[in-house]
Structure 1
């Protein structure tokens, strides 16, 4: 099976009655293994809801989500939590590191939470790949923003997840640092066979992806393979994202 994630007719409605808001409307999408997919759209288009449903952080109102062969909609919260710890990695705009823990302790935190012993060789490789081999004993406060996001990426990779989901992973970084982080995410796909799905509002970030999905009003309205930042920006303008 070559799909890391498959979504079939997924809708998500918040609230009830007249106050109900449809964040996703019958979205169907396949997110292929070993590729970087970017998800873009105007503010309020449903990007974060798409990510949360695909990652098992939120349950669709209707429709189905599969992570590999596993159907998520039939799972209770305990099972979903277990699945997310073992099979899904997350990288957020805010780095979400524990300030009292060292770099290494932050990286292996998902393993500790699932009571799994770290594979020392794999941990060493992940730390080396994100360029933090000489920083493992530091605490987050001693690192730059870019280094902290590298710790977050290492933490996302350490469980060997099926998919790494990024929610605006470069949103809090300056342009040069953002490019370093995007290059690293690209390398995890090309060099490690990782699958990455990233929500972003930045056409430059999207240009690092294999495919860009465009959302508007809770629907996928277009996709683009081999994107360039200029093409992505032009498409976003047509969506009314920037006036």
Structure 2
């Protein structure tokens, strides 16, 4: 579904150059849940931004199906993101003046299309918002706002959903509920979810956890426990501290 081939990204030039990604290659199969972790400055955000078409790699290719994102102009890339990619961010990014219903329906409206009513009703029911559609974001809890964001990400039936620290602003119980929703999206609808997180408990909900360090993929764990993820992160942090 998503294929990165020899992707590199450098910010700045000369002595000020920062090599955020270095020849990263990876294939994300359809219908899987992948978490991406790494120490601060490891390239996680750049990895997500390049994979999701929010930023362009300096070299290499990012393929969504058979489409090379690097070959698209800004307008076509924007259209593709609206139609085929969903986003769930830590900050929710809801529009306060719109109702829950209108926030969820924003992507198809921006794309000039109509949402499938049956699918909309199913998504709303699954995220538990059927009785909140006419509320505004300010009238909801943080967990409910993130459920709105998840419904918004799913309403266009995208090929892949990207999560950028989707539980970072939530308490433990509410975060667990949101992660359970993302897990259900994969298990029940064969959706593809790629999530950047710093939380070993959140990462343990994924099928595979990828580890980045210094802009490179340095390993993975399949169906790990939170303790296994934490141990690997400690090793990466120790290795980074030793280099410093």
TM-score range, shorter chain: over 0.9
Q: TM-score, normalised by structure 2?
A: 0.97
Cα deviation code 1:118-144 (max 9, x no counterpart):
211111011011111111111001100
2:97 alignment partner, SS class = coil
Report the 3-state secondary structure (helix = DSSP H, G, I; strand = E; otherwise coil) of the residue aligned with 2:135: coil
Deviation at 1:148, TM superposition (A): 0.1
2:90 aligned partner: 93
Task: Give TM-score, length-normalised by structure 1.
Answer: 0.97
- Kindly indicate whether residue 21 of structure 2 is the aligned counterpart of residue 28 of structure 1: no
Poorly superposed stretches of 4+, deviation over 6 Å: none
Alpha-carbon separation, structure 2, partners of 1:184 and 1:117? 24
Structure 2 unaligned residues grouped into runs of 5+: none
Of residues 15, 18, 26 in structure 1, which corresponds to 2:15? 18
For 2:74, the equivalent position in structure 1 comes to 77
Deviations 1:158-215 (A, max 9, x none): 0100000000000000000000000000000001111100000000000000000000
The answer as to 2:100 corresponding to 1:103 is yes
The CA deviation at 1:117 is 1.0
The residue aligned with 2:178 is: 181
Question: By how many angstroms is 1:225 displaced?
Answer: 0.6
Count residues in correspondence.
Answer: 240
- Give the 3-state SS of the residue equivalent to 1:7 in structure 2: strand
Higher helix fraction (1 or 2)? 2
How far the C-alpha of 1:62 sits from its partner, in A, is 0.3
Q: What's the counterpart of residue 136 of structure 1?
A: 133
